[in-house]
Amino acid sequence: MRVPAPRDLPALPYAHRLEPFTGDLEREEVYEWLHIDDRAFDDVDGGMTRFSESALSSVTFTGGRFRRARFDTVWMHNIRTVGSDLAESTWLDTECLSSLLAGTQLHGTQMRRAVFHHCKFDSVNLRAAQLANVTFVDCLLRDVDFAGATLTGVSFPGTTLDGVDLTKATLSRVDLSESTALGITSGVAALKGATISTPQLLDLAPALAQHIGLTVKDA
């Protein structure tokens, strides 16, 4: 499969329009053609804000509420969200590089044409999220909850899945064959609609046998 290459800030088609942002983030505001760089935001209420053709680099969000925020054509590099609430947010044509999402609420989120490079998702809640044409490249997904989520055209090249929950998730054209580890703790039945490799099938055999009630007994 063709993996999209990460871009540097100057390579963005709207880079020449970006202006430095030094203010405070506020609820229901529209932020367009802005570059937020080397900032830390603690417990900010940014619900229903909209970021469009903007860039965020070396930005930390600790806590904070960004429910129903919208990220439309946004480039992110070295972002940290710790215990932040981004539930029901929308991510469209967004690129995220070398970032950490820890204890982050993303349930009910919609992601379309988004790509994550070298990112770490740790204890992230993506329950009932809708992901379409999303790529996780060389990422780590640890204790990520996809229960009830819908994944369409999602791929994981070079990505490690560790303790992922797929309970009642719906998968269509999901490519897991190039992931480096396939640690699924719950919801192996949801793998219908996914592509895996032969070695991955062998690794999943015990969980699949348990799911269908198959007893394996060696002489």
pLDDT tens for residues 144-189? 999 999 999 999 999 999 999 999 999 999 999 999 999 999 988 8
Q: How far apart are CA 125 and CA 201, in angstroms?
A: 26
Question: Which amino acid type is present at position 128?
Answer: A
Nearest to 168 by CA among 149, 182, 192: 149
Inter-residue contact 119 to 96 (CB < 8 Å): yes
Average pLDDT, integer, range 120-142: 98
Q: What is the reported pLDDT for 48?
A: 97
Convert the pLDDT of each residue in 64-100 to its tens digit: 999 999 999 999 999 999 999 999 999 999 999 999 9
| More confidently predicted of 217 and 155 | 155
The confidence score (pLDDT) of residue 200 equals 87
Q: Are 45 and 69 in contact (CB under 8 A)?
A: no
> Please, which pLDDT band fits residue 1 given cuts at 50, 70 and 90?
low
Q: Is 107 exposed, middle or buried (0-12, 13-18, 19+ CB in 10 A)?
A: buried
3-class secondary structure per residue, 173-209? CEECCCCCEEEEEECHHHHCCEECCHHHHHHHHHHHH
Residue owning tokens 């710790």:
82
